Chain A
Amino acid sequence: MGLKTLDKITAALESRPAELEQLRKQGKKIVGWLAYNIPEEIIYALGLIPIRIGQGGDGRLVEVGARHISTKNCVFVRQALGQFAEKTDPYIKQLDLVAIDATCIQLYRLEELINFYFDYKTIVLGVPRNFATTEGHEYFRKEVEFFTKKLELFAGTALEQSRLEEAISIYDNIREAIKTLYRYQSLDNAPLSWRQVSSVINAGYNLDRLTYLELLQELIKEIEKNLSAGTGSREIEARIFLSGSLIPPGDTKLIDIIEQLGGRIVGDDLWSGLNFFLNLNIQEPTPYSVADAYLDRVPHGSLPYLDLESDGRLANLKHQIKEFNADGVVYHTLRYCDAFTFKAGETKDVLGNVPFLEIHTEYSGSDFEAIRTRVEAFIEMIKSKKEIAELV
């Protein structure tokens, strides 16, 4: 079904680079951020323009990046490096500052490289790898405070509590809206697909946050108005849940394959997807409180956690699979992304009877056919299981 608000979002995106140019002329500063734990609320509250960066799926940019880093580094990092090297991306070329957090040390290395080779002004936020401990929290509080001070200097203004409060409220509402969209896309008579939700999330990388929130709320209204019109699907479908390394904007290989083969993606716990929007509850408008909230949400796979039973990432994964009524998990791992690759076998063990397929890949197309064959067999297997279950 055609949702008009989606067209509006596309139009807003098209005009965004020119809008940013204008804003910069008026003295606004753009902060590009990359990684997993940058508290965007603080950037926004300081009157800076946050842009989330990081794309995938472009083999050419990966090669450009590989001139400065090894081909044995994660392909997402290599492509980002390629983008910084080329400076042709309409957003990257307008960045006044790049903020990167050290959740994944490969991204920390990226920060060093873009600072050294391409002269980007950068700022790093340390993230404790012992994130669940009191001392880890204490460390991160100080880091966020330090990060805020540096941003204040850059912005030329102090962080006001009221502005932070406002920012927190906008971001809370964005997160709620995305969660709502996820619920709708997973319905039997879904008014929009997972892929469409994913492109809405991707639009949020660049759009003005208030405009984005308004568009999200408009989209939800439009969906809700049309909800009753659909009827439940009778077809047997393979409801696929995506997990593992992120699948950033531009990386559509696996999504295309799953959809072309008749699989339906209904949920994910990706950091380019839903996880980013989950369980972030900032109690007070202070940097300390922001720090605590970021550390307490679903942990990123790059942060090691030594007890299986109480691992929040796995608990969330299990919960989301149920929530979205998924039939099987495609666990996507990027080559040299140890954070997720090393956990593949364990994740399969933990999920027990849930059908599980690991796809270990890069952005090149050379493994397209091999992945296709494996996904095809996986989807077939899920469908026949469901067919048999319907018969008995």
Chain B
Amino acid sequence: MAITAPFSYPESIKEKFTATQGLKFKDGSTVSSAEIWEFMTKEAPTRFPYAFDAGANNMGRFSDDVNFLSGIKRGYLTLTLKDRVMKEHAAGTPTVLVQGGQAMDAYYAAGGLPVRPGLVMQWARNMHEGLSLRQSETLGLNILESGRRKISIDACNQIAAHAAIDNKVVPIDLIAPFLCLRCSDMSFLVETHRNREHDIPRYLVDYPVDHENKPWAAEYIATELRELIAKIAALSGRTVTDEVIFDEIRLENRGRRIATEIADLWWGAENPPTNSTDFFGIAFLANDFLGDPVASVDLLEQSKIEIEERIRNNVRGFGVPDHAKRLYICGSCVGPNAHHAQTAGAIFVGRDDSWSCISVPVEEEGDPYLNIARSMLAYPYEQRTEKRAEWTAEQVRRSRADGVIFMYQWGCNYQSGVARMISDIVKEKAGVVTTFVEVGELGRSEATEQSTNRVEAFIEMV
């Protein structure tokens, strides 16, 4: 088997990169671009070699577009997550398990540090440094398997995060996600912690079905948000006034707005200004904030400036194929491999999951609890399936997609339940071809042929 040389950032861009501004953080500290460069070219490749594996199967592989300098900073935020979380945790900030696809405003406002299952696993794997991709994956898979043995083989790979908490690989102080309707496993996995040796407190914020025109649904959530915030604040010691929550809402709204502006610019561009990895990274940043909303919003602003410049100069993102087929991706927690898709001639132009979360800003006046509740309830992804599909079809049209891939994980029962219906509606409303793919690889970068082949066959058909 040929060994691919590790990915590295070329010295030729150093000067340009270090001339850019650094990043500001929520504790008021800053990091210069020279420090980021040092980290990403010297420290990180030694500590986290797996992240620099240039094999096409590496799902978390960095973008090849080294001239998109914000992408390097995004890599920095990703790889420093562990250090930042551990440092904050040691200083008394409670770490809170949440889930993807939910708002984070309440958690940060209460002085907590929300981490979704995917990031818990990244953090858990990073607790052992110096690992190759294979070693790092094996470590992750061992954690996953320990969870599946304990709970069920029917669980999706989110179970790994719960096992990492159970096995005390990472210190989590509170398990308290929102129960979005996307997710079949979260509520039951949170419940499993009641039968464990640890005594990590648990809380769930419910998410009612069919909530349209039902004010009591938002009131129900708002009451639970008060309790959630009180629980986090009790751990963090922060006094959480309405104004504190609004400050956080304003900051995160800013991130959401920049990301949607970027999406509009990107979609309107003659040439895709970034490749799929960089484009998706932007939406993710505005939904997750990677442990630091201040730094994330700062980076979103920088990303937007770069993208605007590229569009002005009609620059195409590195790796975007000629006459690329434009694919819109649906489904939670898993997506096709961007590198494979690019090799097969396609680019990803949108993702319903993260786009849904950033598409609804929280009202900045009134009752902040009710406002967050109402905004959550308005997420297009969490509406009745027919409505969600109509919104998706609209996104497909706006992004000028040529085809739609709905992907879901093994064990993701609610997404598997609606995959066909969404595909059928989007096909009819947006007039594009659609397919759905179930992914059974559960966190492996090897043995991915089945889903890769299906995606490539679909791209060919498009």
Q: Residues of A at under 8 Å CB distance from B?
A: 68-70, 72-74, 77, 102, 105-106, 108-110, 112-113, 116-117, 124, 126, 128-130, 133, 135-136, 138-139, 142-143, 146, 304-308, 311, 335-336, 338-339, 341-346, 349-350
Contact = CB atoms under 8 A, between A and B. Distances in A.
Q: Which of B220, B411, B419 has the most CB of A within 10 A?
A: B220
A70 B154 contact: no
A339 B414 CA distance: 13
Given A70-B438, A72-B411, A109 B189 contact: no
A128 B421 contact: no
B214 A349 contact: no
Contact of A128 (B206, B410, B425): B206
B416 A73 contact: yes
11 contacts: A70-B438, A106-B417, A112-B421, A116-B425, A124-B209, A304-B204, A306-B204, A335-B154, A338-B152, A342-B155, A345-B195
B142 to A, nearest CB: 19
A117 B223 CA distance: 37
B417 A109 contact: yes
B220 A308 contact: no
B203 A306 contact: yes
Contacts of A70: 408, 416-417, 419-420, 438
A116 B420 CA distance: 12
Contacts of A143: 214, 216
Q: Which of B384, B417, B419 has the most CB of A within 10 A?
A: B417
Given A307-B194, A345-B150, A346-B195, 15 more contacts: A70-B419, A72-B413, A105-B181, A105-B209, A116-B385, A129-B204, A136-B220, A138-B220, A139-B206, A139-B216, A139-B219, A338-B152, A342-B154, A349-B195, A350-B195
Contact of A344 (B152, B189, B384, B412): B152
Nearest to B420: A68
A116 B421 contact: yes
Contacts of A306: 190-191, 193-194, 202-204
Interface string B346-374: 00000000000000000000000000000
Contacts of B49: none
A108 B184 CA distance: 12
A108 to B, nearest CB: 5
Contact of B414 (A105, A116, A142, A344): A105
Nearest to A108: B209
A338 B425 CA distance: 28
B418 A112 contact: yes
Given A69-B416, A124-B210, A126-B209, A342 B421 contact: no
Given A116-B385, A346-B192, A142 B216 contact: yes
Contacts of B194: 305-308, 311, 346
Contact of A129 (B206, B418, B438): B206
Contacts of A124: 209-210
A74 B411 CA distance: 11
Given A139-B216, A142-B214, A341 B209 contact: no
Contact of B384 (A112, A126, A135, A146): A112
A74 B420 CA distance: 16
B188 A304 contact: yes
B261 interface: no
Q: Sorted from nearest, which 3 A-B pairs have the closest CB atoms? A: A70-B416, A109-B417, A142-B216
B210 A336 contact: no
Contacts of A135: 219-220, 223-224
A73 B385 contact: no
Contacts of B411: 72, 336, 338
A209 to B, nearest CB: 27
Nearest to A124: B210
Contacts of A146: 214
Contacts of A305: 191, 194
Contacts of A109: 385, 414, 417-418
Contact of A338 (B185, B208, B223, B421): B185
B334 interface: no
Contacts of A108: 209
B257 interface: no
A129 B385 contact: no
B344 interface: no
- Which range holds the interface residue count of chain B? 35 or more
B251 interface: no
B386 interface: yes
Given A108-B209, A117-B421, A130-B206, A73 B216 contact: no
A74 B413 contact: yes
Contacts of B208: 102, 126, 128, 139
B235 interface: no
Contacts of B185: 338, 342
Contacts of A106: 184, 413-414, 417
Contacts of A105: 181, 184, 209, 414
Contacts of B438: 70, 72
A72 B211 contact: no
B187 interface: yes
A290 B188 CA distance: 27
Contacts of B179: 129
Contacts of A311: 194
A230 to B, nearest CB: 42
B16 to A, nearest CB: 48
Interface string B380-402: 00001110000000000000000
Nearest to B192: A342
Contact of B206 (A77, A116, A136, A307): A136
B209 A73 contact: no
Contact of A139 (B217, B410, B420, B421): B217
A151 B216 CA distance: 19
B151 interface: yes
Contacts of B418: 109, 112-113
Interface string B201-245: 011101011110010110110011000000000000000000000
Contacts of B204: 129-130, 304, 306
Nearest to A335: B154
Contacts of B211: 126
A142 B412 CA distance: 30
Contacts of A112: 384-386, 418, 421
Contact of B188 (A139, A308, A339): A339
Contact of A68 (B150, B203, B421): B421
B185 to A, nearest CB: 6
B149 to A, nearest CB: 9
A142 B151 CA distance: 35
B410 A72 contact: yes
B420 A69 contact: yes
Contacts of B386: 112, 116
